[in-house]
Structure 1
Amino acid sequence: MCSKKGTMKNLARASAIAQILLAGTAPLSARSIAEKLGVSSKTVLRELPKLARMASDRDLVLKRKTGTGISIVGDAEKQKAFLAQLKANAPVGFTAQERLTILAGQLLKNSEPIKLFTLAKQLNVTDGTVSNDLDKLETWFREHGLMLVRRPGLGVYVEGDERAIRRALISILYENLDEEHLLRLVREDETADKRTASGHLLSLVDAEVVHQIEGFVHEMESDLPHHFSDHAFIGLVVHLTLAVERMRKQEGIHIEPDILADLRSRSAYPLAEKLARRIEKAFSLAVPAGEIGYITMHLLGARSRYIGKQDRDAPRVGNFRLVQLARAIIRRMEEQTGKPLLQNRSLLMGLVNHLGPSVSRLTMHMTIRNPLLEEMQQTYPHYMAMARVAAEPLENELGVTLPDAEVAYIAMHLGAALVDADTPAHKTIRVLVACPTGVGTSRLLASSVRRAFPNLHVVDTVSTIHITEASEESGASFVISTVPIPNAPLPVIVTGLLLDEAGRARIAEAIQRAERYVLPCKKGCTQKTAFSDGLPKMIAYGTAIRSLLEGFFVRRIAEHVSDAKRLCMIAAEQICTDRTARNSIMDAFLQRESKGSTIIKGHGIMVLHARTKASPAPRAGVLRLSAPFVSESGIVRTVLVLLAVMEKEESAEAVGAISTGLFERDGFLSVLHDGEHGAVFQAISDLLRAFYRQKNEEVIGQAADFHQFRESLV
């Protein structure tokens, strides 16, 4: 039914895109359209198939051409008529899929029976059409533990456990509205336009209640040792909003006494209780113990996977048992593939880190959501099938059947390991990755490129000003950059910080054009340096790493930051006290931001980075904002601050190694958001240790003992 994310037909948005294209005279990029609408490029691209059908119905064609943009072409008079119809807000009907989603939402929201006539009038269809739609919905409701009841003369309604009803409601919202919709609702930017299916879904939650609850959750965050991710924050706000509406109708949650007793022993319970009292006072209703327990579950489910040894909220499965379960899962995958995966330590640790919070959610019967579930099911069904078999030891341990969302998470871990195992050491096409500084965003982009295109060998990550020199030495076929590079000696593919569909398509096209062999390096780039010649370079790497570790900081910023300039100044203040140097560092950060935002949208983090002569040594640190910094590029709760020294390439490489951990090291993003100072420092040390070993192998060809190296610095 409505269980496929992205199937919601947001006709209002597709119409808005059509109006922008028809009003102009030249093709527009997805990014340009997105900026006009205040949405992401990904959202625009998701609407294009729908827009293509709308255009085709009017004998027009939606054209997409790489490097040129998107346009609607055809007879000029038909274009004018289409635009006039859009501007007049001509009524349009709902698709069959939309009707099912709207019907399910309305039935779940209302406790009383609804007449078929009322539903048919809402959807502008006949009673017979509604009846046929309800036939299709019966299976979906059964899958969610609910029963669709039809009583002649009375109407139709849903019967079942209150928890199942709420889970179904939340599933509909999350599976048919992306987080951008929900986030905009929380920020008061989204309204429920019932001419669209998404508008009907937004009407399931009371916007006024949403905004009050959002304020309560923000207040509660100040009592927590960690920030919520955007995903967890929205999930809690949506859950509490639905809970308020259900409690107003005397529909309460029941939790078994033994589970409630366990929840009361958790450190999150008093926070949930405090939040419940705020809700009682604001909405004049009583919040029973079961509801407080359910709020506690959500707080626990939002916790970081980095859990302290003395934390009372730690998973009820011990760490040693988690390692055993992870190894059993990997062993099952080995049996299916014949690949030696148990020796992949990053796979083992990644699974252990993932299983901790997942086990907590599963044992508490909480919903697990995976925003990449549909993509995994459609693109990697073989990984999903193997992961389902491999996950049997976990299912046997917990006595549950894992939901597809959890299987998809396991499939992502195992799939990445299989790609690594199948990727030949010799990669066919050499590329450079560039950004304005060559420090932060280029490393993140390089990480995305390596994951998406195993046949690409990223020779180096460089700053745009050094692209000519790097091109001559690298033997690269083309450059992948976060910004345009005028007069570059090689073809430049411009893409976003994290590869979206359009960026992948442009790179894939460049690969097809590229020569299928590695060009020779002009300076023998594959040869190792002589031992004596390599020592000064390794000493430079060691000095940079020592500076990063000794100067590392984690700061909580109580001030409400409202603009990028102030954020850059706060970061500079953590690095040095000299006013002149501090201002120079701030200017360097601002200059980098002016070339393109470094906010990683949807992850609540910003990679504030630059290169400067104002600091004698590289610096790294983390800023945690008590109040989120909100900009057009996204919402920021945590800032990763990275500063490299100009003209000292070793320092830039060491600083860049830290940023690669955001998506190459499972759990690193979580520990930046929520981990204690020691946990963050350890995670940074681990990244730099791996970087030092890698550089030692590249430069000298011998593995170094990082522990001996650190001891030599003391």
Structure 2
Amino acid sequence: MFPYCICMGMINILNERCSKIFNKILNNKSPITIEELSNLLGVSSRTIRYDLDNIDNYLKEHDLKVLTRKPNKGISFTVPKEEKQKILEIFRDTDNNYYIMSQTERVLNIFYILLGLNEYITIQKLSDLLKVSKATVQNDMKLLKSYINTKTEYIETVKGKGIRLVGNETKLRQIASKKLLAHLSHNEANVDLFRLFSDISVLSIQNFVREAEKQMNTVFSEDKFNNLVIHLIIAIKRIKTGKDILMDSMELKHLSNTPEFAIASSITNSLEKQFNIEIPKSEIGYITIHLLGNNFFNENVKNELYLQKIVIILIEKTSKLYEFPFEYDNGLYDNLLQHMQSFIYRVQHNILIKNPLLAEIKNKYSDLFLCIKQVVQFLDDEYKITVNDEECGYLCIHFMTSYERMKHCKEHKARVLLVCATGIGTSKYVLNKLQSMFDFETVGTTSLHNAYEYIVNESLDLVITTVPLQSVPVKSILVQPFLTEKNISELSAFFAKYNYNKPIKNKKSLPINDIMNLVEKYYRIDNKNMLKQNLMNLLQEYSIQKLSFMDLLGKDRIVVQADIASWQEAISLGGKLLKDEGYIEENYIKDMIDNVNNFGEYMILAPKIVMPHASMKDNVNKTGFSLVITKEPVEFGKSKNKAQIFITLAAVDKEQHTQALKEIMYLLDDDEIIYSILQSTTKEEIEYILKTNIKKYLDNQ
């Protein structure tokens, strides 16, 4: 059963967990913390916070005071004895696990039940399990068939026997995973995974996936983590019924040679012991594919800059050839960056995959497909990466999405209602944060109780809410008051459809140096570097533009005609320039030298030009560049390549240097610019060349 704290109209119904939380708080002699409640009930702190909000709403509707929450102390609820009895009577009904599921919830429950059965089940049996009428179950079955988009392909009905799932096992699991994941993602604050899959130890499976993350040195996104957990749950249920997946032998052979296959095998060994099942090799192959697909945030340093460089070149070349401004779509850059890691890995390891949409892509977007097919030739020419039609089709999907998003963008600003359950202070904070990131028209901010009146009477495009809403006739997005990355991503995707404008031409970079010069006219500055960094951080919060290469370089971190005999000396000098201004710690220099020894070829940007760097997390205080140009070329790493221009990068994240990297790639594409840089003898000459040509690049955007 789906254990929600829900709102039906204006009447809240509390589930068993909410009731347990309230009774624990009511009967505790001292305040209890969210962490204690989380450990007690085996759910996340986030879920507990939403349950507490629902308890408050429930109390308000019964004219009772709300819970007392004190930071660093906990939650309490103190009332006179005569009121305590009244409260206990109100909450008594919630102990019966009473809950009215929506039709969508019942349908998914039926789907999950059928996944665990090999034999037929009757409508009457489902009616008994769900505590609804047979007519209701029959209507639910119609909706389930529409979910699966078929009448007979996957659902078999035999008179006198009942219903069961049949058909292509792979597709059936894909449909189930997609529907369950979509529901969990849409209701992330309410859904309790442990109860939804109450017949399987979800915690054990989650721990196995976390162990895989550690082995891969990877952090999965929330959706991808849940996707893999759901895939494993469904696989276990189906294997128990004697249903397993078949995989092409050649594809399985390729997968078995990957490190991810070894990690998938480790997961399956644990699953076999935990659930007393035998998992076929083909199932391990499909888990491997999930791991390969999930490997978006790998911290392996050799790939960070390498992938960013490929994505920037891919977008710029496609924009020019297709004559469409894809470079203005930041969402395309982010999505391609995520896609590229698994794509490059598959290509490098000759892992072949099928693209079921390929024929449709070639037919509907033939010009764009042919354009991208021509553009990706640079991957073969420069990186020996051959892209087949299947992979080219997947790349095309990202550009198709960007094209449709930008072409059909709505002209007006989105009309937005903000619903907040935790007071006017929080409402203002959330609204200010949203307005600093997105351009929209605020219709109003309101509490949960007044939300439905707004929704009925106002013309709205979106409701952003910090408290779950049920059955509202307008798009709603549930967010945390402090806006998680997932919240921002979902909101970005929505607002991308509205009021699209190209970036303003000739837009200036952050005026850090101008401000510094102005301040120095009137004040003595004790710590220029610290002031400059603080100004950069402050202005960044109010600027939608990424920092320019010149913002991140600085004249004092340029050395020309350096009399250096080895690449180690060049990197040490570039590192020292950054260290002296507080950008890095001493160990970062050693890390860069180690990385050149291990992954040197990935740092080569162009002939004679390299970008030494190390991990973004370790020994980096702030983002910046240094530039060292040697008098003569030196051998770089273990290769026979020569290097003369060393652009040393220190980065705290994957965002701040993105614009700078685009500018660098533009400079490297012009042989005359490179020649001028190599012939320069002073810092001033280098500064002039860089500023002049970067300005040309920005003017053409």
Normalised-by-shorter TM-score class: 0.3 to 0.5
TM-score by length of 1: 0.45
TM-score by length of 2: 0.46
